[in-house]
Structure 1
Amino acid sequence: MSEAVTAPAAVGDSEFDRDTAVTEREPGLHDIDLSDGWTIFGAVNGGYLLAVLGRALADTLPHGDPFTLTAHYLSASRPGPAVVRTETVRSGRTLSTGQASLLQYDEEGREVERIRVLASYGDLDALPDDVRTSAKPPAIPPPSQCFGPEDSPVPQGDQQPIADRLMLKLDPATVGWALGQPSGKGEMRAWFGLADGRDHDPFSLLLAVDALPPTAFDLGISGWVPTVELTVHVRARPAPGPVRVAITTRNLAGGFLEEDAEVWDSQDRLVAQSRQLARVLRG
Structure 2
Amino acid sequence: MDSSNSVRSHGPGSAPALVPDGPALATGSEFDRDTAVTRREPGVYDAELSAGWTIIQAVNGGYLLALIGRALADALPHPDPFTVSAHYLTPSVPGPAVVRTETVRTGRTLSTGQASLLQYAEDGTEVERIRVLATYGDLDTLSDDIRTSAKPPAIPPREHCLGPADGPAPIAGSTAIMDRLDIRLDPTTLGWAVGAPSGKGEMRGWFGLADGREPDPLSLLLTVDALPPTSFELGLPGWTPTVELTTHVRCRPAPGPLRVAITTRNLAGGFLEEDAEIWDSADRLVAQSRQLARAPRA
Q: Which of the five TM-score ranges fits, normalised by the shorter chain?
A: over 0.9
1:252 offset after TM fit, Å? 0.4
- Structure 1 273/155 Cα, relative in aligned 2: closer, same or farther at 3 Å? closer
- Structure 1 111/156 Cα, relative in aligned 2: closer, same or farther at 3 Å? closer
CA distance in 2, matches of 1:95, 1:124: 11
1:109 offset after TM fit, Å? 2.2
Which residue pairs with 2:119 in the alignment?
Answer: 104
1:11 is paired with a residue of what secondary structure?
helix
User: Runs (4+) of structure 1 moved beyond 6 Å?
Assistant: 155-158
Q: How does 1:116-135 map to 2 (within 5 A)?
A: 116-135=131-150
CA distance in 1, matches of 2:88, 2:173: 27
Q: Determine if the alignment matches structure 1 residue 84 to structure 2 residue 95.
A: no
CA distance in 1, matches of 2:173, 2:87: 30
TM-score by length of 1: 0.95
Residue in structure 2 matching 1:14, options 20, 25, 29: 29
**Structure 1 runs not aligned, ≥5 long:** 1-8
Q: How does 1:146-165 map to 2 (within 5 A)?
A: 146-154=161-169, 160-165=175-180
CA distance in 1, matches of 2:128, 2:173: 30
Which residue pairs with 2:152 in the alignment?
Answer: 137
Residue in structure 1 matching 2:109, options 94, 116, 120: 94
CA contact (8 A) 1:11 1:200 kept: no
CA contact (8 A) 2:57 2:173 kept: no
CA distance in 2, matches of 1:167, 1:254: 34
CA distance in 2, matches of 1:208, 1:50: 10
1:216-258 CA deviation, whole Å, 9 max, x = no partner? 0000111210000000000000000010000000000000000
Q: Determine if the alignment matches structure 1 residue 177 to structure 2 residue 181.
A: no
Q: How does 1:1-283 map to 2 (within 5 A)?
A: 10-12=23-25, 13-154=28-169, 160-282=175-297
**Structure 2 runs not aligned, ≥5 long:** 1-21
Equivalent residues, number: 275
Which residue pairs with 2:13 in the alignment?
Answer: none
RMSD after superposition:
1.5
CA distance in 2, matches of 1:105, 1:177: 37
